[in-house]
Amino acid sequence: MKKLHRQFFWLLIFLLPVQLGRHFWFEWTQVLGLAVDYLSPTLYLTDLLVIAILLTWWWQEKIRDKRYEIRDKIQKNWVVGAIFIFLLVNSFLAVNRGAAFYKLIKVLEFTFLGFYIAKSNYTLYAIRYPLSLAVVYSSLIAIFQFVKQASLGGIFWWLGERNFNIITPGIAKAIINGRLVLRPYATFSHPNVLAGFFLVAIILLLGNFKLTNQLINKLKKNWSIGIYWILVFILALIGLVLSFSRATWLIGLLVGFGLVTRSWWGKKRRVAGLIFLLVLIGVFYYRFALPLSGQETLTQRFSLAQIAIEMIKASPLAGVGLNNFIPRLPDYWQQFGMTYWLQPVHNVFLLIAAETGLVGLLIFLWLLVLIYKRLLVTGHWSLIVAVSIIFALGLFDHYWLTLQQSQLLLTIVFGLSWRR
């Protein structure tokens, strides 16, 4: 029993890309008569693993400490309790309470998981192999999907792969030399989510080489291990490129340059190199990256951002309620002349402010500052970079707060940041 929760956690990391789950549809999951995935309560395979982790860990803690009391834990973490009360009131005030309370349950689930990771004192070294294996099979699925220009089907359906091809309505595509090509999904909900996973995973895995001498010694003694890690990073980079996620490309290039110059160049050369790279990336981005997709998506994202700002103005303190951004969209469409696009705003900070008000945004920013302060003291550069990447990408998309796989990865990074 002592090691069982750790084995479940290893399995959770390995199966993090999998989105196999059972959706439940209620009346409140519809907007304008259309079923919305973001509102549908879903029991994922990874949810079952989280439950197994928490139950076996709680049982171990209870056996180890005969005086173990949940009430004592709550008293010691009263700030977390106060935040929960705020979110509870926020959910009661929401127009769509079903969607709000479902989101609140997910927040509690990931909060407990993050608390478990921090308390169990996991390290980057402890998750290196399950995470690397998740990167390998995700990248291979993405590569074969791109070659086939369609989903693989068969057994991959059980990993959560959706059935699609180049002509599927609403499928993500890129434009290369005037030709539409399918952007691979692997087992993720969108290519952008896949790209975010690859970039953060690369940084977390690179942290093992900096922070753990044991791994470096093994690389010197055993070439097979070295070849394995080279293969992992090559596959991750290929998957990242094939995702055609422009924001992730841009941030990845900046991070890569920063990591290289941090070790190789002096201060003056580093500044000059940074200026040169920013100009080079700017030319690359506007000459090659922007033409990869049409302008319609950019227009829709801008309209959603405008709607989010109007929601904040209408409910500045408490917001419109957890998970209520999409249900409230129809109230603002006429104002902006926007076609129906049932998506959250593609900015995590605007999404938090719209749904939980400025109070919720301040709480979130306060927690973020605490994480950075803790990481700067401990000096875990890879976790600092990982957190920075997550919220840099959060300026361009919402998936870190709305989709299961990204929420799990965010929780793991936060939990590792708070470990002893």
Tens of pLDDT along 57-94?
988 776 665 555 555 555 566 788 888 999 999 999 99
Task: Report residue 329 as tokens.
Answer: 């969209």
Q: Cα–Cα distance between 87 and 96 in angstroms, integer?
A: 14
The residue with tokens 């998936």 is 399
List the chain domain ranges. 4-244+293-417
CA–CA gap between residue 350 and residue 224 (Å, rounded): 47
DSSP state letter for 294: -
pLDDT of residue 325: 94
Assess contact for 164 and 171: CB atoms under 8 A.
yes
Identity of residue 123: T
**Which tokens is 41 given?**
């309560």
For residue 76, what pLDDT is reported?
64
Rounded CA gap, 119 and 261, in Å?
35
**DSSP output for 179-218:** EEEEPP-TTSSSHHHHHHHHHHHHHHHHHHHHH-HHHHHH
DSSP 285: I
Assess contact for 356 and 87: CB atoms under 8 A: yes
What's residue 212's pLDDT?
A: 47
Q: How long, in residues, is the chain? A: 420
pTM of the model: 0.88
Instruction: Report whether 316 contacts 295 (CB < 8 A).
Output: no
**With the C-alpha atoms ordered 286, 288, 290, 294, is the resulting torsion angle positive or negative?**
positive
Question: In the beta sheet, which residues pair with residue 370?
Answer: none
Q: Mean pLDDT for each consecutive 10-residue tract of the chain (420 residues)?
A: 84 95 92 89 96 90 60 65 90 93 95 92 89 96 95 90 88 84 93 95 82 55 77 94 89 79 55 56 51 59 88 92 92 62 89 94 93 85 90 90 95 90
- The two structure tokens encoding residue 417: 């940041």
